[in-house]
Amino acid sequence: MQRASVVGRLFWDAAVAELQAREGSTLDSEDITALLEAVRDRELVFRRERSAFAGAEEYIFKHALLRDVTYETVLLNLRRVYHGQVAQWLETAAGERIGEYLGLIARHYELAGEEEKATEYLLRAGDRARLAYSCPAASSYY
């Protein structure tokens, strides 16, 4: 659940599996699915009907506070590593729809301490919002 909390209140099993795999965990995607289903049975998270990413189940923490408390248990140095890995996963998973996730990717790079990449994605998100005439969103990215 710690890795899921780094992804955010809304998270995907494939992202959690990727974080586990990068750590050399012996858990495979089926194990992670089983663990998430056990947490779901306790009604700590809910599985959403549809997922933003093909081949990934989408979950949401029942309460933002639960996600926040779980996130606070992640060691600070690991948070940075995980945020960088989540950003990389999002870049790949989003594919042609990356424009929809520019702000989220930027946020994860920012929390990973990767300022150059964060800036690149913030500028791209701002440009995209500006072209869509969404001035408040554009100014928040710039």
DSSP codes, 56-76? --EEEES-HHHHHHHHHTS-H
CB 68 within 8 A of CB 2: no
CATH number of the domain enclosing 7:
1.10.10.10
Residues 8 and 27 in one domain: yes
Note the pLDDT tens digit of each residue in 83-130. Answer: 999 999 999 999 999 999 999 999 999 999 999 999 999 888 888 877
**In terms of domains, do 93 and 39 share one?**
no
> Is 29 within 8 Å of 14 (Cβ atoms)?
yes
Return the pLDDT at 131: 73
116 and 50 share one domain:
no
Please work out, in degrees rounded to the nearest 5, the angle formed at the alpha carbon of residue 140 by the alpha carbons of 135 and 142.
90
The tokens of 104 are what?
A: 């989220």
Domain of 54?
1-74
CA end-to-end span of the chain: 32
Q: pLDDT above 70 covers what percent of the chain?
A: 100
pTM more than 0.95: no
State how far the Cα of 10 lies from the Cα of 42, in Å rounded to an integer: 17
List residues bridging with 13 in a β-sheet. none
Q: What is the pLDDT of residue 22?
A: 86
15 plus 69 within the same structural domain: yes
Does residue 24 surpass a pLDDT of 90?
no
